[in-house]
Amino acid sequence: MSFASPDKLIWLLAALPIIAFYILKTRLRRRPVSTLLFWDQVFEQKRQRSLWQNLRHWISLLLQLAFVGLLGFALADPLWNSQEDTGQDLILVVDNSASMRAVDPATGNTRLQEAIEQASDVAGTLRSGDNIALITAGGSVRVVVGMSDFAPTVQEALLEIQPTDGPTRIGEAITAARRLAADDLKRRIVVFSDGGVANRDLLTDAPAQPTPEPNDATAAAAAEQRRSLTGDDVRWMQVGTSQDNLAITTFQVRRSTVDPIGYSLLVEVHNFSSQPAETRLTLKLDDALVDVIPLEIEAEGSFRKQIDSTSRAGGVLTGELKSDDALQVDNVARAILPNRPEIPVKLVAGEDSESYYLRRVLESIPLVKILAADAVDSEPAARLTVFAGVVPETIPEGPVLLVDIPESGPAIGTDGQPAWRLGEQVDNPIIAKQEKQSPLLRHVQLQNVILAGGRDLEVSESLGTPTTLLETAGGDRVCVSIERSEGRILLLASDLDTSDLPLRIAFPVLMTNAMNWFFRETGEIRPALATGLTTDVPWDVAEDSETGTANLIAPSGERTLVTVQRNKVKLGPLPSVGVYRLTTEDVSETGDVETGEGETDPTAATDDANLVAVNLSDANESDLRLPELPETTAGELPPAGRSPWFYLILAATGLVITEWALFQRRVVA
Amino acid sequence: MFDSDFLKQLEYLSLLSKRMFQGQLLAQRRTMQTGGGIEFSDHREYMHGDDLRYLDWNVYARHGDLLLKRFQEEEDLHVYLLLDVSQSMEVDETFATAEAADPPKFKLARQIAAALAYIALADLDRVSIVAYADGVKVVMPLVRGKDQILSVLRFLEGLKCHGERTDLRRTVGEFVGRAPRTGLAIIISDLFDQDGFREGVDRLRYAQFEPHVIQIHTRQEADPKLLGDVQLVDCETGTEKKVTVTERKLRHYKQLFETFVQEVETYCRTHGLAHTRTTTDVPFDAVLLKMMRAAAVG
C-alpha cells in the first residue's frame, strides 16, 4: 500500500497537542470545598476502582491518538496495491430512454432521477489521477462529457440530462465507452439503467457455453451481444422497481387501396403484466372522435386489430389508452392519415373522339370531378387537363394527360421544334417492355398486350425529362411520362375507342396511378415512425434528382436541418414522440427554437403531406418489469469506489463514538 | 460591612422584635427563679432568718399563718453568640463560571450575629460573642447596653477565619467553663463538624444553656455544579481527593446533603431547640424575620 498524497501525513502532528492536552488534563482541577464529609460518603465504595479510573484515561488518550492517526492516513489517500500504478477511467452510462420516465409510486421520482442520483454519488468517489466520462444511452448514444479528471463537470452534466422517448442503447453506449477508454485495465464502466434493453434475456440468463461453436451463428451473435452488455469492466446499477404497464405497441394507418376515402388502422395494445387488464382505447381524427374501443386484455396478452373506416379529410389520427400506469408516453400513439382532396379535371375531347371510356374511367375515380365543357371562372380551376384525340396549340401549365394523340405536339422553344414527334402507325403494337420502377405502372401489367393505335412518341428534351413507360417490340415508345417544371405530362398514344385497353382492369389502375402521380400522391403508406430510428421518409417536394435541405420542426418547436434527396428525407433518430413537420421555409433559421405562436404547433399546417408521426412503439421500453441481473452483470465496483480512506474515516468515526461513550460513562453515567 | 444602612436595618429589626414579642424576648423574659421581682409568684412557710418585709401580714391577720410572699424574679438575659470562624465559612466553591458567585457564609454569619447582638443590647440583655473553630478562638466579653453595639461591630469586623478543623464539642467545653452564667447560646455555623455537631449542642443543653442553631450553607454546597475529573480539597484539613464526578454521583451527593439537613432539623425538633436554616443568598434581615416569625408561632 502506498499513498497518493504522502505530504498530508504531516497532519499526524496533530497528535502532539492531544498528548499535551492530555498531560495538562491529568493535572486535575483543584476545587476547594467546605468539607469532604459528603464526598467521602459518595466515593467511599469506589476506591477499589481507582485503577480502572486511571486506565480509562489512558484508553481515551489512545483512542484520540488513533483517531488522529486514521484521519491523517485518510488525508494521505492510501492506495490499494491494485491501484498503485494506474488511475482508473470511469465511464458512467446513464440510460435516459423512455422506460426511465416511469415513476416509482413509492418515491414519486422517475427512474432517471434515481439513476442520476446514483451516478452523482459514484462520480463523487473520483480520486486524484482518475478520469471520468458521461454517456447517455436513450434514443441515441451521446457522449455528454468526454474523458476528464474533473468530477464536478460530470455531476453538473448529470443534472442536465433530460429523458427521451427513445429506446435503450446500452449496448452501443458500452461499445462507445470502450472506445473512449481503450485501456482495459483502467476502464470501469458503470451502467445506470432499469435493464430494459432489447434481448434482456441476455442479461438474465447465464451463458450456456462460454465459447460458442464456430458454426452456431445464432449463439455466436448472442454471445457477442452479451459481451457488449456485460463484461468484467461493466457494472450494472439497476434502478426502479417492477411495475405493470399497458402500452400501444403498434399504431399505423394507411389509405385503403380500394376505397380512395377509406383507410385502415392497425393497432396493437399489449398488457405487460401478470394480471389481466381492462382499459379503453379512444380514437380521434384531429379533434373528432372516431371510436372508443373497450379492451379486456389477458395477462401477457395483447389486443391487435385492423380497424377500417372512411374519411376524405386527413389529419392526425390519435389513439389514447385510458390508463394511469407508470409510463404515460406509450399510452398515446399517433399516425398521419393523408388527405384526399377533390381533383377538378378539364376534359377536352377531339371532334371525332367520343372519349367515352376515358370519361367513364375518370368519373369512376373517386375525388375526380370532371368540369363541364363550358366551365365558368367561378368554378374551381382545373387541376388536371385531359386531351383526348386532340392536341392543344400550347401545352397548358399544370398536369396534362394526352390520350389518343393524333399528331405531333405544338412547337416549343426558340427553334420551333415540336414538343413530341408522332411516329407512323404501327401494326400490332405489342407491348414488350414496361418500366417497372415507375409509380404510374404500379399494379399494372401490360406486357404482351396489343395497344391498338399505338404510335411512337419522340419527346423533345426541351419539353422536360421523358421516361418511356411502355415500349413495343419494335421500339416504339407508346406511353411516355414527362417531368416538367410547370407540371407533369403523360402521353399515351393509343386509340381508346378501338383498343381493348379500356376493357382491361389495368386501365383504371393506370389512371388512378396517373392521378396520384400528377398530384404527387405516391399512394404508399406513410408509416408512423418509432423513436430512436433512422429512416428515409418519402417526401415529394422536388425533382427526383434534386438535393436540398429542409427544416424538421419537433413537437417542442425546435427546428432541425434535414437533407432531402430524391424525394426522400432522412430522419432520425427522433428523440421524442409526437407529430413533426417538415418544411422548406426559413431553412436559414435552422437550429433556432421558434417562439412565435402558430409555428410551435407542427400540425398547424393545413397540408398533412409534410407531417410525420412518431411513437414509442417499443415493447422493450414499455415493459417496466425489471430483469433480475445475475452476479455476472452486477460486477464489482472498482476498488476506488471504496477507497482505503473511506474505511479509515469509518474507523475514525467508530473511535469517536467509543470515546464519546467513554466520556458519557465518565461524566453522565 | 457594617455601614449606616446596616445600622438602620438593625434599628428596624429591633423595633420589629419588640412589637412582635411584646416583652417576651430576652431581658423582659421572666426566669424560672423566684426572688426580688415585683410580680407575686406564690407563698411559702416562714423560716427562721427570712426577711420580715416579705411576710404576708394580711394572711397572718386573717388566718394566723406565717407565710412568706415570693416574687417572680426578672433578670437580664445572657446571650452568647457562638460564631463559627473556621475556614469552611469563607471558602468559595463557585466552580461554574457562568453562575453568580455565592456570598461567603462568614459575612452573613457576622451580619446575623450583629443583628442579634443589637436586638439583645437594645433590650438591655448582656451579649457575649465567642468565635470558635477547633476551639474557642476569640471571645468578646459580656457587654450590656445599646451603646456597646459599636464595640460589637468592631469585634465582628476584626474576626478572621482560621483553624484547621471545626470542633464544636471542644469549643463548648471551653465555653461552658468560661461562661459566668447560663443563658441563650446561639450557634451560627455551617455545622460541617468533622466529629458531628450533636455532642457540642448536647453539652450546652446539659449545662442549662438554651441552644439556638442557625445553620448557614451556600447553594453550591447543596447543589454543586461539578462534573468530570476534579481534585477536591478540604479547605480546613487540606485533605485532597481525586474523583470523577458524574451525574449519578452528584445525585448521590445531593441526597446525602439533604439527609444531613433533615437530621439537623430532626435533632433540634426532638430536643425543642430553635433551628433556622438559610443560604447565603438570603439577606440577613430576612433571616432575622424568619427567626422572629418562627419564635412567635412557637
For the four alpha carbons of A589, A595, A599 and A601, in that order, the dihedral sign comes to positive
Rounded to whole angstroms, the Cα distance separating A581 from A336 reads 11
Percent of chain B with pLDDT over 70: 86
A298 vs A338 pLDDT, higher one: A298
Count of CB atoms situated within 10 Å of the CB of A218: 8
Confidence of residue A669 (pLDDT cuts 50, 70, 90): very low
Taking the Cβ of residue B228 and every Cβ of chain A, the question of whether any pair is shorter than 8 Å is answered with yes
Q: Is the pLDDT of residue A3 over 60?
A: yes
Distance from CA of B104 to the nearest CA of A (A): 11
Q: Say whether B242 and A25 touch across the interface (CB within 8 A).
A: no
Q: What is the pLDDT of residue B82?
A: 92
* The residue type at A534: T
Torsion of CA A283, A289, A295, A301, to 10 degrees: 0
* Residue A481 pLDDT class (50, 70, 90 cuts): very high
CB contact under 8 A, A34 and B241: no
Q: Give CA–CA dist A300/A273, Å, rounded.
A: 6
Chain B residue with CA closest to A39: the answer is B253
Start-to-end C-alpha separation, chain B: 32
Query: What local confidence, expressed as pLDDT, does residue B36 receive?
Result: 57
In the predicted model, what is the mean pLDDT of residues A445-458?
88
The answer to whether the Cβ–Cβ distance between B241 and A38 falls below 8 Å is no
Type and span of the H or E element at A620:
helix A619-622
Residue of A nearest to B251 (CA): A42
C-alpha cell at A135: 454517456
Reduced 3-state DSSP string for chain B = CCCHHHHHHHHHHHHHHHHHHCCCCHHHCEEEEEECCCEEEEEEECCCCCCHHHECHHHHHHHCCCEEEEEEEECCCEEEEEEECCHHHCCCCCCCCCCCCCCCHHHHHHHHHHHHHHHHHHCCCEEEEEEECCCEEEEEEEEECHHHHHHHHHHHHCCCCCCCCCCHHHHHHHHHHHCCCCCEEEEEECCCCCCCCHHHHHHHHHCCCEEEEEEEECHHHHCCCCCEEEEEEECCCCCEEEEEECHHHHHHHHHHHHHHHHHHHHHHHHCCCEEEEEECCCCHHHHHHHHHHHHHHC
CB contact under 8 A, B230 and A30: yes
pLDDT band per the 50, 70, 90 thresholds, residue B97: very low
What is the overall mean pLDDT for chain A?
81
**Domains in chain A with CATH codes:** 2-80+647-667 (no CATH), 85-242+627-642 (3.40.50.410), 245-340+618-622 (2.60.40.10), 343-518 (3.40.50.880), 529-615 (no CATH)
A399: phi then psi, degrees, rounded to nearest 5: -65, 140
Residue of A nearest to B222 (CA): A38
Q: Which three cell numbers stand for residue A203?
A: 442479461
Q: Which of A41-55, A591-605, B64-78 has the lowest mean pLDDT?
A: A591-605
B232 touching A (Cβ < 8 Å): yes
Cell numbers found for residue A430? 405489342
Which of A23, A42, A54 should be substituted to probe chain B, the one whose Cβ sees the most B Cβ atoms within 10 Å?
A42
Q: Which residues of A touch B260 (CB under 8 A)?
A: 37-38
Query: In A, which residues are within 8 Å of B94 by CB distance?
Result: none
Longest CA–CA separation in chain B, Å = 88
Which of B91, B218, B227 is nearest residue A32 as measured by Cβ atoms? B91
The residue-averaged pLDDT of A594-603 equals 43
Q: How far is B263 from chain A (nearest CA, A)?
A: 14
The SS3 assignment for A499 reads coil
Mutation target for A interface from B229, B247, B257: give the one with most A CBs within 10 A: B229
- Confidence tier at A60 by pLDDT (50, 70, 90): confident
Cell 416538367 sits on residue: A484
Cα dihedral A113→A114→A115→A117 (10° resolution): 90
Nearest partner of B132 among B89, B182, B166, B179, judged by Cα: B166
Please indicate whether, in this complex, the C-beta atoms of A666 and B246 are within 8 angstroms of each other. Answer: yes
Is there a contact between A38 and B257 if contact means CB atoms under 8 Å apart? Answer: yes
Check residue B258 and give its pLDDT. 93
Residue B220: closest CA among chain A residues belongs to which residue? A33
**C-beta of residue A436 within 8 angstroms of C-beta of residue A442:** no
Among A32, A35, A39, whose Cβ lies nearest the Cβ of B243? A39
Interchain pair A33, B247: CB under 8 A: no
Give the CA distances from residue A460 to residues A164, A246, A406, A464, in Å, rounded to whole numbers and listed in that order. Answer: 54, 60, 17, 7
Q: Which residue in the set A28, A33, A37 is minimally distant from B91, CB to CB?
A: A33
A635 falls in which pLDDT band (50, 70, 90)? Answer: very low
Residue B32 reports pLDDT greater than 50: no
If one compares A58 and A325, the residue with the highest pLDDT of the two is A325
Per-residue confidence (pLDDT) for residue A543, from 0 to 100: 54
Given B190, B235, B257, which is nearest A32 (Cβ)? Answer: B235
In this predicted structure, the answer to whether residue A314 has a pLDDT above a threshold of 60 is yes
d(CA A620, CA A167): 8
Model pTM score: 0.51
Q: Which residues pair with A628 in a beta bridge?
A: none
Q: How far is A665 from chain B (nearest CA, A)?
A: 8
Q: Which of A35, A42, A669 lies closest to B234 in CB terms?
A: A35
Question: Between chains, do B231 and A29 touch, taking CB under 8 Å as contact?
Answer: yes
Percent of chain A at pLDDT exceeding 90:
17
Closest Cβ opposite residue A42 in set B190, B240, B256: B256
Using a CB-CB cut-off of 8 Å, the residues of chain B touching A41 are 256
From A41's Cα to the closest Cα of chain B, the distance in A is 8
Model confidence over B161-198: pLDDT tens digits? 887 788 889 999 999 888 888 888 999 998 888 788 88
CB of B88 within 8 Å of a chain A CB? The answer is: yes
Element (H, E) at A52: helix A50-75
Who's near B248: CB < 8 A, 6+ residues apart? A669
Whether residue A600 has pLDDT greater than 50: no
pLDDT for the residue B63: 92
Task: Report in angstroms the alpha-carbon separations of A570 from A409, A551, A603, B200.
Answer: 39, 11, 20, 116
Contact B139, B178 (CB under 8 A): yes
**In this complex, is the C-beta atom of B238 within 8 Å of any C-beta atom belonging to chain A?**
no
CB atoms under 10 Å from CB of B93, counted, come to 20
Query: Across the interface, which of A34, A40, A43 has its CB nearest the CB of B93?
Result: A34
Q: How many CB pairs under 8 A join A and B?
A: 94
Q: Calculate ∠ Cα A571-A572-A573, nearest 5°.
A: 175
Looking at residues A640-663, what average pLDDT do you find?
75
Residue A157 confidence (pLDDT) above 90: yes
Q: Which residue's C-alpha cell is 433512422?
A: A534
Which residues of chain B does A42 touch, with a Cβ-Cβ cutoff of 8 Å?
243, 249, 252-253, 256
**SS3 category, A370:** strand
State the nearest Cα–Cα gap between B236 and chain A, in angstroms: 7
Q: Is residue B34 a contact partner of residue B41, using CB atoms and an 8 Å limit?
A: yes
List Cβ neighbours of A335 (8 Å cut-off, separation of 6 or more).
A251, A252, A253, A265, A316, A317, A527, A528, A613, A615
Three-state SS for A403? strand
* Res. A599 pLDDT band, cuts 50 70 90: very low
> C-alpha cell of B8?
438602620
Phi then psi for A219, rounded to 5 degrees? -65, -35
What span, in angstroms and rounded, lies between the C-alpha atoms of B36 and A308? Answer: 143
Instruction: For residue A43, list chain B residues with Cβ-Cβ distance below 8 A.
Output: 241, 243, 249
How far is it between the farthest Cα atoms of chain A? 146
- Mean pLDDT score of chain B, rounded to an integer? 82
B262 touches chain A (CB under 8 A): no
What is the average per-residue pLDDT within B200-225? 88
A667, B260: Cβ pair inside 8 Å?
no
Please give, rounded to a whole number of angstroms, the shortest distance from the CA of B235 to a CA of chain A: 6
Among the partner residues A28, A37, A667, nearest to B231 by beta-carbon distance: A28
Residue A573: asked if its preceding bond is cis (omega within 30°), the reply is: yes
- Does the distance separating the beta carbons of B247 and A667 come in below 8 Å? yes
Task: Return the closest-CA partner of residue A179 out of A237, A97, A84, A93.
Answer: A93
Sheet with B184-189: list strands edge to edge: B136-144, B126-132, B78-84, B184-189, B210-217, B274-279
Q: Average of pLDDT values for B124-145?
A: 88
**Mutation site for A-interface testing, chosen from B243, B248, B257 by largest number of A Cβ within 10 Å:** B243
Sign, Cα dihedral of B110, B116, B117, B118: positive
Residue B246, chain A, CB below 8 Å: the answer is: yes
3-class secondary structure, A62 = helix
Spatial separation of the C-alpha atoms in residues A602 and A606, rounded to whole Å = 10
Using the predicted structure, report yes or no on whether residue A340 has a pLDDT greater than 50: yes
Domains (range + CATH), chain B:
4-27+77-297 (3.40.50.410), 30-74 (no CATH)
Q: Which of the pair, A593 or A498, is modelled with greater confidence?
A: A498
State the burial class of residue A414 (Cβ atoms within 10 Å of its Cβ: 0-12, 13-18, 19+).
exposed
Nearest chain A residue to B261 by CA distance is A38
Helix (H) or strand (E) holding A664: helix A644-667
Per-residue pLDDT band at A521 (split at 50, 70, 90): low
**DSSP per-residue letters across A128-184:** TT-EEEEEEEESEEEEEEEEES-HHHHHHHHHH----SSPB-HHHHHHHHHHHS--T
Arithmetic mean of pLDDT, B194-221: 88
**Cell for B93?**
466553591
> Would you say how long chain B is, in residues?
298
CA distance B91 to chain A (A): 6
Q: How many CB atoms lie within 10 A of CB A80?
A: 13
Cell (9 digits) for A132: 471520468
With 60 as the cut, is the pLDDT of residue A639 above it? no
Give the pLDDT of residue A320.
Answer: 93
> CA geometry: angle at A252 spanning A532 and A271, to 5°?
80
Determine the distance in angstroms separating the CA of B261 from the nearest CA of chain A, rounded to an integer: 12
Of these ranges, A49-58, A241-250, A253-262, the one predicted with the greatest mean pLDDT is: A241-250
pLDDT bracket for residue B296 (50, 70, 90): low
Q: For chain A, say whether B226 makes contact (Cβ under 8 Å).
A: yes
User: Does B195 contact A at CB distance below 8 Å?
Assistant: no
Residues of B whose CB is below 8 A from A30: 230-231, 233, 240
CB A550 within 8 A of CB A583: yes
Judge whether residue A307 has pLDDT over 80.
yes
- Give the pairing of strands A29-33 and B136-144: unpaired
Residue in A25, A34, A43 closest to B190 by CB: A34
- Within 10 angstroms of residue B126's Cβ, the number of other Cβ atoms is 23
Residue A411 makes CB contacts below 8 A (sequence gap 6+) with: A417, A418, A419
Reply yes or no on whether the pLDDT at A497 is more than 70.
yes
Which chain A residues are closer than 8 Å to B234 by Cβ?
32-33, 35-36
Overall residue count recorded for chain A in this entry: 669
